[in-house]
Chains A and B, each alone.
Chain A
Amino acid sequence: MKTSKCFLAAIAAVGLAFGAAGAAKADNEHVLSVASMADFTGPYADIFPPIAAGRRAVFDWWNAEIGADLGVRIRIREYDHRYDAARVASMWPGIRSDLNPVLILGVGGPDVAALRERLPDDKVPMIMATAGYGYAWMSDPWIFNPRATYAHEAAAFLNWYKEDRSLDRPVKLGIISSEASPAYVDIARGMQKYAEDNPDVVELVETIWTAVQPDDLTAHVHRIVRRGAEVIQIQTNTAAVVAAKRALQAIGRPDVVIMTSSHNGLPMSGSALGGIDQLEGNYEAHGQALGTADPTVAREFYDMLVADYDLTAGWNVATIMGLNQGIVAVRAIEAAVAEYGAGNVTGEAIREMMFATEFDTAELFEILPTLNFTREAPFPVAGLSVNIATVKDGEYTLAELGYPVPILNPW
């Protein structure tokens, strides 16, 4: 009897000790909430699971290996807004009262369009994974893109293309875009402005406006090819790449180059075409690490997340978008903790750190180039570069690493 009482007392003592330790830990741990916007049921539902998985894995890694020492834990919650600006606007007040986030991870054009006016009042910054937008190119930003605008990335590609082919004339360009989203319109407008300002680099043949799910594009593509287009810029979606490629195949001009972005890149479009080999000689250009098989620092980081943090998404552009967004977010939070203390991290503090911190490419695991944000624009206005991938002999492969992004005038 006496033995069992002693045993119970010992258990109680141990329990109390653990409880007290847990309470002490909880007292020391500061939880920061991050709203993770997502599109699991809208036009980008095909790429969002790996993006979300990439984000989550980075936060898990940071919480375990860095946050634990700093006494900070980042809690993320996902909100599916279906790539719909109206839905973002209606969801945001609920997200604020429910989560009180210090940071938002954005999806794309709709959250930028819906929240850019509100965030300065709500004092919550938003970090994107995508390239930036001309309509959000304003000073004193609360929204941050780790990549320049889509037009910047396309302009860098065209400069590279001209250099690579040793052309002594401008590259003749056709654009396929859509008015279904403000971001898509912005992509075309940006390139139109660049072509206007740089007639020695680009000659814009025509912009074709299509639906999100385009009709047969054979006649349109035939028209711009007859007018001399040698490159077709498609930074909208995979369906448009498929429709354009089929049109080029139909008119017997597979030599005309299609340039895509990250979210509609070569592997995804190739899969929708029935094989990446169908995109032989076409390009993908964007300002983040490529999903090719080459051994890189970014790939090492990804492999570590797979091995230690249950990242199940494959090594592809979508997962890399999630990693790029996650890594910038945690480095900004880390800087804010160092500057203001773990208990004083607010949305404003994180935003200040976005301007004050140089995000070195090594600290970003070379997923992105070194980033220096200024109050001039939502993206770094200097020092950015693009990586270019192509399909060669049926293999998705690197064409150029770190080609500099030219300077563009706002539009």
Chain B
Amino acid sequence: MGEFLNYTVNGALIGLTYALVAMGFVVIYRASKVFNLAQGELVVLGGFIVWLMMIQLDLPLIIGLPIAFLCAGIFGFLIDRIFFSRMAGQSVFAMVMVTIGLMILLRGVVLVAFGAQVRQFPAVFPVFPVIWGDFLIPQAMLYGGVITVCVALGLAWFFNRTRAGLRMTAVAEDHQVAMSLGISVRRSVIIAWIMGSMLATLGAIIFLSNRSISFITSEIGLLALPVALLAGLESIAGLILAGILIGIVQGLAAGYLDPALGASVSSVLPFVIMLMILFIRPTGMFGWKTIERV
């Protein structure tokens, strides 16, 4: 029973971390209708900025992290200005191709700027786990889970209660309708990229705290993909549920199926669930259904 609880709780917490990374996908998709395949690379870039501030420049946490978030926001802004503002009116396919190009470019930038070495990532959260008998929770994961839920609530409030957020929600519904209402789509897209980039940095901090970072860390983006697609690409709150679901399934599979079958079933299962759900409900569990009048 103790082990079952361990796998379930730890799985749920890891799933929440995936949900946080997946929020970057969703925020950008809602505003620009672009599925950002370079989200994993944004996580790496954000992580390396944190590494630069806290390990290389040895800045204290309270100064290093705000500067890292500021830099991440500026990167998000620049990405939009340089690549996506020029793509206004282009097809979704063209936009996705640009994100693939961005992914390759960012990987190269990270390699040139920070090298290929595996680097020490600072310990942002307490390193010792919470242990009650057989029950163990790493504190980074615990803090990460709480932060993810808070960020999701904050974003839900932002998108539903603030003027800027409501504008972005209108943009997410339909660009042309939003423009006809006098809403600046370009401004919403810029804000989305800034938010997406900052969320990626937050994901890096939680996922990598007290571990290591290298350019292959971008794999995190791939791990978050089933959560984003399972939730549906428009729902922030749905990400929490999808993250917990995927995390628990993965945790239990790692605890019971992997040792029994001698294979990494846990790494495949989230994608199997994602495909099954998408077969039944292509918009994901909480994605918006579009009804078009012909």
Interface residues of A (CB under 8 A from B): 40-41, 43, 45-46, 48-49, 178-179, 192, 206-213, 215-216, 218-220, 222-223, 226, 237-239, 242-243, 246, 249-252, 268-269, 271-274
The CA of A211 and the CA of B258, in the complex, are separated in Å by 13
From A179, A238, A252, A271, give the contact of B263 (CB < 8 A).
Answer: A179
Residue B154 CB within 8 A of the other chain: no
Q: Determine if B140 and A216 form an interchain contact, defined as CB atoms under 8 angstroms apart.
A: yes
Q: Determine if A211 and B223 form an interchain contact, defined as CB atoms under 8 angstroms apart.
A: yes
Closest to B7 in A: A219
Which segment, of B31-39, B111-119, B166-174, faces chain A?
B111-119
CB distance from A226 to the nearest CB of B (A): 8
Q: List 9 additional A-B contacts (Cβ < 8 Å) besides A41-B107, A45-B111, A273-B212.
A: A206-B259, A209-B258, A219-B136, A222-B136, A223-B255, A238-B214, A242-B120, A246-B127, A272-B120
The CA of A192 and the CA of B261, in the complex, are separated in Å by 13
Q: Determine if A207 and B117 form an interchain contact, defined as CB atoms under 8 angstroms apart.
A: no
The CA of A48 and the CA of B217, in the complex, are separated in Å by 18
Residues of B within 8 Å of A192, CB to CB, are 262
Residues of B within 8 Å of A252, CB to CB, are 128
From A40, A179, A226, give the contact of B267 (CB < 8 A).
Answer: A179
Residues of B within 8 Å of A238, CB to CB, are 118, 212, 214
Residues of A within 8 Å of B192, CB to CB, are none
Residues of B within 8 Å of A273, CB to CB, are 120, 212
Residues of A within 8 Å of B225, CB to CB, are none
Could you jot down 14 A-B contacts, CB within 8 Å? A179-B267, A209-B254, A209-B263, A209-B266, A212-B216, A213-B214, A213-B217, A213-B219, A215-B14, A218-B136, A239-B118, A239-B212, A239-B217, A272-B118
Known contacts A238-B118, A272-B118, A216 near B141 by CB under 8 Å: yes
CB distance from A399 to the nearest CB of B (A): 24
Q: Mark B60-92, 1 if CB is under 8 A from A, else 0.
A: 000000000000000000000000000000000
Q: Determine if A246 and B264 form an interchain contact, defined as CB atoms under 8 angstroms apart.
A: no
The CA of A192 and the CA of B111, in the complex, are separated in Å by 36
Closest to B9 in A: A219
Q: Determine if B127 and A207 form an interchain contact, defined as CB atoms under 8 angstroms apart.
A: no
The CA of A48 and the CA of B115, in the complex, are separated in Å by 12
Size of interface on B: residues with Cβ below 8 Å to A: 44
The CA of A215 and the CA of B216, in the complex, are separated in Å by 13
Q: Determine if A213 and B216 form an interchain contact, defined as CB atoms under 8 angstroms apart.
A: yes
Q: Determine if A46 and B136 form an interchain contact, defined as CB atoms under 8 angstroms apart.
A: no
The CA of A251 and the CA of B116, in the complex, are separated in Å by 30
Closest to B120 in A: A274
The CA of A49 and the CA of B116, in the complex, are separated in Å by 10
Q: Determine if A250 and B129 form an interchain contact, defined as CB atoms under 8 angstroms apart.
A: yes
The CA of A16 and the CA of B219, in the complex, are separated in Å by 61
Q: Determine if B128 and A250 form an interchain contact, defined as CB atoms under 8 angstroms apart.
A: yes
Instruction: Scan residues 240-272 of chain B and give those whose CB is less than 8 A from a CB of chain A.
Output: 254-255, 258-259, 262-264, 266-267
Residues of A within 8 Å of B119, CB to CB, are 272
CB distance from A102 to the nearest CB of B (A): 30
Q: Mark B88-128, 1 if CB is under 8 A from A, else 0.
A: 00000000000000000001100100011111100000011
CB distance from A185 to the nearest CB of B (A): 8
10 smallest beta-carbon distances between A and B, as pairs: A209-B264, A45-B116, A272-B118, A242-B212, A274-B120, A179-B264, A238-B118, A46-B116, A272-B212, A218-B138
Instruction: Scan residues 219-233 of chain B and give those whose CB is less than 8 A from a CB of chain A.
Output: 219-220, 223
Q: Determine if A239 and B216 form an interchain contact, defined as CB atoms under 8 angstroms apart.
A: yes
CB distance from B174 to the nearest CB of A (A): 38
The CA of A179 and the CA of B263, in the complex, are separated in Å by 8
Closest to B134 in A: A226
Residues of B within 8 Å of A211, CB to CB, are 219, 223, 267
Residue B48 CB within 8 A of the other chain: no
Q: Determine if A251 and B14 form an interchain contact, defined as CB atoms under 8 angstroms apart.
A: no
Closest to B127 in A: A250
The CA of A206 and the CA of B265, in the complex, are separated in Å by 15
From B17, B117, B223, B262, give the contact of A46 (CB < 8 A).
Answer: B117
Q: Determine if B3 and A243 form an interchain contact, defined as CB atoms under 8 angstroms apart.
A: no
The CA of A272 and the CA of B131, in the complex, are separated in Å by 27
Closest to A83 in B: B216
Closest to B3 in A: A223
Residue B29 CB within 8 A of the other chain: no
Q: Determine if A251 and B136 form an interchain contact, defined as CB atoms under 8 angstroms apart.
A: yes
Residue B10 CB within 8 A of the other chain: yes
From B108, B138, B214, B259, give the contact of A239 (CB < 8 A).
Answer: B214
Most buried by A among B10, B116, B117, B254: B116
Q: Determine if A219 and B6 form an interchain contact, defined as CB atoms under 8 angstroms apart.
A: yes
Instruction: Scan residues 3-51 of chain B and give those whose CB is less than 8 A from a CB of chain A.
Output: 3, 6-7, 10, 14, 17
Q: Determine if B263 and A219 form an interchain contact, defined as CB atoms under 8 angstroms apart.
A: no
CB distance from A411 to the nearest CB of B (A): 12
The CA of A351 and the CA of B115, in the complex, are separated in Å by 37
Residues of A within 8 Å of B263, CB to CB, are 179, 209
From A41, A208, A210, A218, give the contact of B129 (CB < 8 A).
Answer: A218
Residues of B within 8 Å of A249, CB to CB, are 127
Q: Determine if B211 and A246 form an interchain contact, defined as CB atoms under 8 angstroms apart.
A: yes
CB distance from A250 to the nearest CB of B (A): 5
The CA of A207 and the CA of B260, in the complex, are separated in Å by 10
Residues of B within 8 Å of A207, CB to CB, are 258-259, 262
CB distance from B254 to the nearest CB of A (A): 7
